[in-house]
Structure 1
Amino acid sequence: MRVLILSDSHGEAKLLSEIVKRVKADHVIHCGDFCTDEAELPKVPLTVVRGNCDWAQVPQEQIWEGEGVRFFITHGHKYQVKTTPLPMRYRTEEVGAQIGCFGHSHFPFCEKVGDVLLINPGSISYPRGFPHATYAVLEKTDKKLAVTYFKTNGTLITARGYEESWA
């Protein structure tokens, strides 16, 4: 399974579409602040949530499951993600998910907190506290789960990422 995780595109619908076409994921997760009409989002298998800057009437939280992995998706502004990962961890556990995906801070973050893997893909439009606009790709096989970060032009970022055995 290959999942594209991105956030905070802030109206950059063309860039969003370019990334989606390049990555060729089985599923796309957008963690909010897309700031376009919902009709401008890519027509692919997509889970999207509303960020604090969005006007489209999409859910503020979503659950998505793929290949036995349960994802909790939210923008993060209601979970203090700019100061601590703990509220995201607690909410992700509360809904029975193994992975929590969020945006809002525009800063790429991937860390296992307790039994929960938290992923912030950064922002594809306006990075903060990191020199590049970024997105993440999660790949799961029978034996491992890996998260890799990329610049918006597709260049690998080796300073971020995660990998673990997955049974």
Structure 2
Amino acid sequence: MREATDIGGRTARVGVVCDTHVGDVLPSLPDEVCAALAGVDLIIHAGDVTSRGVIDRLEAIAPVVAVRGNHDRLLDDLPEDVVVTVAGVRIGVTHGRRNRAAEVCSVFAGLVIGRPVTLGLARALRRRVGRVDCLVFGHYHLPFHQRVGGTDVVSPGALYVIDADPTAVFSGLRALAFRRFRSGLPAEARVPAIGILHIEDRRIRLQRIPLSGPLRSGSASATPYRMPSTPGK
């Protein structure tokens, strides 16, 4: 487990970004993201960065701690998991992808009930990262907050949300299955978002920040969407 540089003090604001997919489906990091993160002490990226330029741009705002997602094939120098201590709070970061058997079971269960299944997810991720006060993850493209064994397991949701992309084109059985997989999600999960962790006297509060949309993919013309093989895009 990689340990990142500690940030001291009693209070801190930590930006949380997940699943940007820049260069994959989004052409660039939206200006709204940088504006919302202005003034934070640290930025966490929970994977599927997909472009080194995203980290470079975020580093112009604050120091960045990032992990590798399943779409970060060109960023293999990023760690899979990392722990950073901020204002006395240990924060674990992982993308959120589980072993193949768990992913396949989650997909099939999600197809049956019409939404991603996260049963057991928080405990599995906590076992992976170890004892931390807060655990940040991405991959599933939906907001999440569950307290497990003294750990707040959180995700603000994804920056790129296919439901909010008017240029995305669905075709074929796999695409229809993916639409079924997300059909039961609440409205808030269909909106691009980032988050800010507010830390004061070791208390943690996640502020979810929905972004004005829609966040479009590369061009105004319809762009075929490459279906993921696992629950996260």
Give the TM-score normalised by structure 2: 0.58
Contact 1:32–1:49 under 8 Å retained in 2: yes
What does 1:1-167 correspond to in 2, within 5 Å? 1-11=12-22, 12=26, 13-15=28-30, 18-24=32-38, 25-36=40-51, 38-41=52-55, 42-43=58-59, 44-54=62-72, 55-56=74-75, 57-78=77-98, 83=118, 84-92=121-129, 94=130, 96-126=131-161, 129=185, 130-142=189-201, 144-153=203-212
Name the SS for the 1:85 alignment partner: helix
SS of the residue 1:148 aligns to: strand
Cα distance in 1 for partners of 2:160, 2:63 equals 22
Secondary structure in structure 1 of the residue aligned to 2:128:
helix
Q: 2-side partners of 1:132 and 1:125: how far apart?
A: 9
CA spacing shift, 1:85–1:142, aligned 2, 3 Å: closer
Q: Is the 8 A contact 2:15 2:43 kept in 1?
A: yes
Provide the C-alpha distance between the structure 2 equivalents of 1:98 and 1:141, rounded to a whole number of angstroms. 13
Shift of 1:121: 1.9
TM value normalised by structure 1? 0.79
Which structure is richer in relative contact order (CA contacts within 8 A, separation 6 or more)? 2
What is the deviation of 1:151? Answer: 0.8
Query: Unpaired segments of 5 or more residues in structure 2?
Result: 1-11, 104-116, 163-181, 214-233
One-letter amino acid matched to 1:106: H
Specify the SS of the correspondent of 2:35: helix
> 1:126: how far off?
1.4
Between the aligned residues of both structures, percent identity stands at 27
Counterpart CA distance in 1 for 2:199 and 2:144 is: 18
Cα distance in 1 for partners of 2:19, 2:145 equals: 16
Give, in whole Å, the separation in 2 of the partners of 1:21 and 1:40: 14
Structure number with bigger Rg: 2
Task: Name the structure with the higher helix share.
Answer: 2
Are the counterparts in 2 of residues 4 and 20 from structure 1 also a CA contact under 8 Å? no
Question: Post-superposition shift, 1:31?
Answer: 0.2
Maintained 8 Å contact 2:20/2:29: no
* CA-atom RMSD in angstroms: 2.2
Q: Which moved more, 1:40-49 or 1:63-72?
A: 40-49
Q: Amino acid of the residue matched to residue 27 of structure 1? A: L
